[in-house]
Amino acid sequence: MSTTTTEEVQSAPAPAPVTTKNLGMRKNGKQWHEPKKAFRPAAGLTSYEKRAKDRVAQALVKAKEKELKEEKEAERQRRITALKEKRAAKEEKERYEQIAAKMHKKRVERLKR
C-alpha cells in the first residue's frame, strides 16, 4: 500500500505555487502599503442610452415633486384665504354690533327726552 501512495503522489502534477510579481523596494519606503493601480478616469463612464434613461427618470421624479409641491402650496393658500375671510367676517360682525349698539343708545336717549 505504501508503494501505491508514493506512486500516486509522484504521478500527480504538483499545484503551481501562487506567485506575485515582485516589484522590488518601493521608492518612498512604504513597503506595507498596497501598490497603487493605474488611474483610469474613463473606467466609470456610462453609455449614452443609460444617461438618457436616467435623465428621463429624473425628469419624471422632478415633475412629480413639482406637482406635489404645487398641491401643498394650493392647500396652504386655501387655508390662508379661509382664515382671512373668517377674520374679515368677524370684524364686520363686530362693526355692525358696535353700530347697532350706538344706534340703540341714541334711540334710547331720544325716547328719554
Residue type, 70: E
The string of pLDDT tens digits covering residues 77-89 is 999 999 999 999 9
Contact 23, 35 (CB under 8 A): yes
Contact 31, 25 (CB under 8 A): yes
Residue 20 reports pLDDT greater than 70: no
Residue 60 DSSP label: H
Contact 74, 62 (CB under 8 A): no
The string of pLDDT tens digits covering residues 50-76 is 999 999 999 999 999 999 999 999 999
Residue 3 reports pLDDT greater than 90: no
